[in-house]
Amino acid sequence: MQIRFNTPAAVAALTLGLFACSSSSSSSPGAQNADASSAGDDAGALPVDAGPSDPSVIPPPTACPTAKHKTVIVVGDSISDVGAGSNPEELPFYRTLLAKNDDAKYPAWKGYDLATCTGIDPAADVVKASKGGAIATVPASNDPSNKGILLNQVTALPANLPGPVLVVGTIGGNDVQRGLANVVLGSPEQQQRDIDNFVAGFGAAMAELSKPDRFGAGVKVDVLMTNIYDPSGGTGRFYYEPAKQTCPGALSLWPEGTPTAEPLAKWNAAMKAEAAKHAPVKLLDMYTPFVSHAVATPASENWFYKDCIHPSAGGHDAIRGLFWAGIVALK
């Protein structure tokens, strides 16, 4: 049955659960919208060489980074936050794999982590500022102590850290979720205002990280952030194929067959343009590889946990690969 929105209340209910801290029935499970890839960051982002024929595959590691960072900072939302408290199907998180690979689970990655390649101590040299539910949009009544705001996370970081410093993070899904009512019912002006407010907050955080000597005199900083993925792969089909069930909560209210690729493309394009203004910042394209591993794909291909919002362990492995390629490309 197709669900149509007739009231703002229905849309308000939907905004409680759509997309991820980033994020994320009836037609064929693996169906993908032909325009879904348009929401990816296909130009200007740090490239990940996934091969000419299959952009959904993130390649195995082949080299250690030449850039030797002494401190790693993790910022952003729940994709970059929770670890030990997560469900086993979500573990290990990408941030822990970057610091130290799980050789038993991922033997192909043995020797390819920051601890092995650059001497990073996962306990002492990683600063985690990320927080579940974080947004980039700065509310009018912002409390600087609220670490659920990206700008607050980065302004609260220490003034001095051993360098060079590497910052990694994910952000944007919760901002999309907050603005979803306007995506469905709002005017173009309201939709653009949500995007502009998101970009302003994201830009302020990137400007803070890009300040000369932000972490001490002469300390070099590299910042790798991802754009926003879509659990439906752009199709708007929120059906979790591995469990043979409609996605839980408000995701079940999304109108079947209403693509999500076009509205999300506007958010990712704005994020890309803002990232380009800050020299130390490189935006990684997380959207594109996840398109072929959406919630409606079979278990063997699926990169999402059963809440249809967060990455599964396989998703985190893929995100680790995305960041690793970005780190290796740094000079």
Average pLDDT over residues 23-34: 34
> Using CA atoms, how far apart are residues 125 and 145, in angstroms rounded to an integer?
23
* pLDDT tens digits, 229-239: 999 999 999 99
Q: Within a 13 Å sphere around the CA of 285, how many CA atoms are in the beta-carbon half?
A: 23
> Using CA atoms, how far apart are residues 143 and 231, in angstroms rounded to an integer?
31
DSSP 269: H
Residue 26 lies in a domain: yes
Average pLDDT over residues 59-81: 95
DSSP 278: S
Q: Which helix (H) or strand (E) holds 327?
A: helix 313-328
* pLDDT tens digits, 246-266: 998 777 877 877 899 999 999
Residue 65 lies in a domain: yes
Establish whether the linkage from the previous residue to 164 is cis, with ω within 30° of 0: yes
* pLDDT tens digits, 170-223: 999 999 988 877 877 789 999 999 999 999 999 999 999 999 999 999 999 999
Residue 301 lies in a domain: yes
> Using CA atoms, how far apart are residues 273 and 319, in angstroms rounded to an integer?
22
Report in angstroms the alpha-carbon separations of 41 from 77, 122, 196, 261, 288: 20, 30, 18, 12, 8
Give the structural domain span for 20: 8-328
Collapse the DSSP code of 295 into the 3-class scheme (helix H, G, I; strand E, B; otherwise coil) and give the result: coil
Residue 3 lies in a domain: no
Q: Is the pLDDT of residue 10 over 80?
A: no
pLDDT for the residue numbered 317: 97
> Using CA atoms, how far apart are residues 312 and 262, in angstroms rounded to an integer?
25
Report in angstroms the alpha-carbon separations of 20 from 53, 171, 178, 266: 28, 9, 11, 17
Q: Is the pLDDT of residue 33 over 50?
A: no
> Using CA atoms, how far apart are residues 134 and 82, in angstroms rounded to an integer?
12
> Using CA atoms, how far apart are residues 228 and 19, in angstroms rounded to an integer?
9
Residues 6 or more apart whose CB falls under 8 angstroms from that of 218 comprise 163
DSSP string for residues in 213-267? TTTSTT--EEEEEE----TTTTS---EEGGGTEEPSGGGGGSPTT---HHHHHHH
> Using CA atoms, how far apart are residues 112 and 185, in angstroms rounded to an integer?
47
Query: How many domains is the chain partitioned into structurally?
Result: 1
* pLDDT tens digits, 281-294: 999 999 999 999 99
Residue type for position 163: G
Residue 1 lies in a domain: no
Collapse the DSSP code of 183 into the 3-class scheme (helix H, G, I; strand E, B; otherwise coil) and give the result: helix
Residue 170 lies in a domain: yes
Mean pLDDT estimate for the chain: 85
Residue 2 lies in a domain: no
pLDDT for the residue numbered 55: 59
Retrieve residue 103's tokens: 């050789």
Average pLDDT over residues 289-307: 96
Strand 126-128 to 165-170 pairing: unpaired
Q: Within a 13 Å sphere around the CA of 329, how many CA atoms are in the beta-carbon half?
A: 17
- The enclosing domain of 45 has a CATH number of 3.40.50.1110
Residue 184 lies in a domain: yes
